[in-house]
A = this chain, B = another copy of it.
Amino acid sequence: MKNRRKFLQTAGLSTLALSLPWSESLAYLSSSKEEKVLRVALMGLGSYASRVAEAMKDCRRAKLVGVISGTPSKIAQWQQKYGLEAKNCYSYDTVHLLKENKDIDAVYVITPNALHKPHALAVATAGKHVICEKPMAINADEGREIVAACTAAGVQLLVGYRMHFEANTLEIVKKQRAGEFGKTLFFQGLSGFIIGNPSQWRLNRALSGGGAMMDIGIYSINGARYMLGEEPVWVTAQEEKTDPVKFGEGIDETITFQLGFPSGAIASCLSTYSLNHLDKFFLSGSKGFAEMQPSTGYGPIKAWTHAGPLDKPHVTHQTTQMDEMASILLDGKTPFLPVNGEEGVKDLQIIDAIYEAVRTGKKIMLPG
């Protein structure tokens, strides 16, 4: 308390800060002076990187300081737009030089899915914390390689699960854990949109590692796990393809899949690139239910239960995500829902099983 008062006097902020409620003044103080800020470089400057960069403008604890891109003109644009120092900008060929850069703490890998592994490994080798966009890799084996590489390099690894920090989502998850819905025996996740430009990397197997499942279906997989609070023990899946030109070999257009859980709960989900209006979660229990629609879109999440609507205000997901990830990486904070590499691997194991179930027509058992 003595230190605090002294600081307030020194900063000439005593009147202002003391007039605020205690928690707010603490937050004010900590944001201005006490907490370290995570200095982040973005790797891969596509549209999602732009979204993250814009969201980080409002971050309290994370700051965009650098970029890694294969396109020099993009680097120039980003330098100007975000006031980045030239020394914090790299090409893919010079990523190893990050090792000598003391002004970057973490790299957020936002390149196409199939490049996550080599890029994450390069970042880890350069001694920086890795934040890897979902899916963490294109299969569980690659995911495990990333985990092992980060462990070996002594850096932390997080996956860009922005929904794990979204306030309404967390409220429903906490209600589920508290038993407010009774025994939750059914989860339904519908994840899909009509994908545009057929020449984009998401429809190129070599870069995407798969189709809708990798991109959007993973939300239902991940949602089933956090909404039910269990790990699945079996997987079944069915595929349909109505446009084999747009969705070539190895690019799934539509897959329905089911996950069975130890409690007897079943998750029944849809992943598709051929229908819009598909961003819905539904959790049904013996005492009540929860619905979310939109459930994972970038905009405000709309959630309600048998007892009525939830009303946590919308905060840009990536802003919250990056602030929370700063707390995890810098302070060792444990998030309510994990966003580490093991979490990423769990989803990839299920994706592997879904593809195997489609290929073989069989129920695939998981270690659970």
- A256 CA / B187 CA spacing, docked (Å): 11
Q: Which residues of B contact A276 (CB under 8 A)?
A: 284, 286
Chain B's nearest CB lies how many Å from the CB of A274?
Answer: 6
Asked whether, in the complex, the Cβ of A238 is within 8 Å of the Cβ of B260, the reply is yes
New A-B pairs, 5, CB < 8 Å, besides A254-B266, A268-B270: A185-B240, A185-B275, A234-B238, A256-B266, A266-B270
Closest to A289 in B: B277
Q: Which residues of B contact A241 (CB under 8 A)?
A: 264
**Is A236 located at the chain interface by the 8 A CB criterion?**
yes
- A265 CA / B288 CA spacing, docked (Å): 30
Interface of A is mostly: strand
Asked whether, in the complex, the Cβ of A264 is within 8 Å of the Cβ of B277, the reply is no
Q: Which residues of B contact A165 (CB under 8 A)?
A: none
24 sampled A-B residue pairs with Cβ under 8 A: A185-B272, A185-B274, A186-B270, A188-B188, A188-B270, A234-B238, A236-B236, A236-B238, A238-B258, A238-B260, A238-B266, A238-B363, A240-B260, A240-B266, A256-B258, A256-B266, A268-B270, A274-B286, A275-B285, A275-B286, A276-B284, A277-B284, A277-B289, A361-B363
Chain A 167-212 interface residues, beta-carbon cutoff 8 Å to B: 183, 185-186, 188, 190, 194
Asked whether, in the complex, the Cβ of A278 is within 8 Å of the Cβ of B286, the reply is no
Q: Which of A240, A274, A289 has most B Cβ within 10 Å?
A: A240
A→B interface (CB under 8 Å)? 183, 185-186, 188, 190, 194, 234, 236, 238, 240-242, 254, 256, 258, 260, 263-266, 268, 270, 272, 274-278, 282, 284-286, 288-289, 306, 361-363
- A185 CA / B285 CA spacing, docked (Å): 28
Q: Which residues of B contact A274 (CB under 8 A)?
A: 185, 286
The answer to whether A194 and B286 touch (CB under 8 A), given A185-B254, A242-B264, is yes
